[in-house]
Structure 1
Amino acid sequence: MPIYEYACQACGFEKEHLQKMSDAPITNCPACGSDNYVKKVSAAGFQLKGTGWYVTDFRNKQAPQPSSKSTPESGKETAATATANTAPATSNAASTASSSG
């Protein structure tokens, strides 16, 4: 059952009430007896965290295992990568200096 927060607008009394969702709202303040006892809007008392679960989580556990193919080492550079890393960078400093004069 959800917990609802109530506040009295006449005396300022606040209290949480455990009620069914189908129950009628409480209108009389337990402290002063006023009819200005209203339900407050508040955040939910729980949070859903994580990725959840999917239909594929409980499928056949005997799926084929990935093959252990040899992969190239990630530390080695290819010729194209080495050339791109050593290419001289062009500078726009000379062109901006002459045009700002």
Structure 2
Amino acid sequence: MKLREIAHSRAGDKGNTSNLSLIVFRAEDYERIRSQITAERVKALFADIVRGDVVRYELPLIGALNFVLHDALGGGVTRSLSLDAHGKSLSSALLDMEISDG
């Protein structure tokens, strides 16, 4: 199943760092994303653009994970030649990730 079936995502940026949040629709799905969506897996998904570390923060009270992708925006909005210099489309790419049903 696609991650987008149980969660939604938002993206933000600051300089050369992208921030992706992953929020479940239902609290009972939080443990599933917590166990399956690791920092390593997110870094592998974005291996072509993320040059630095990926750090995951857990927010169980709101059923969310937050990923900080360092050195991920080609130098930042004012320096990048990327079509999406802000990295907003990264949240959509994250939601395309496959997860197990249970």
Q: TM-score, normalised by structure 2?
A: 0.25
Relative to its length, the structure with more strand (as a share) is 2
Q: Which has the higher contact order (CA 8 A, sep 6+)?
A: 2
Relative to its length, the structure with more helix (as a share) is 2
Structure of higher CA gyration radius = 1
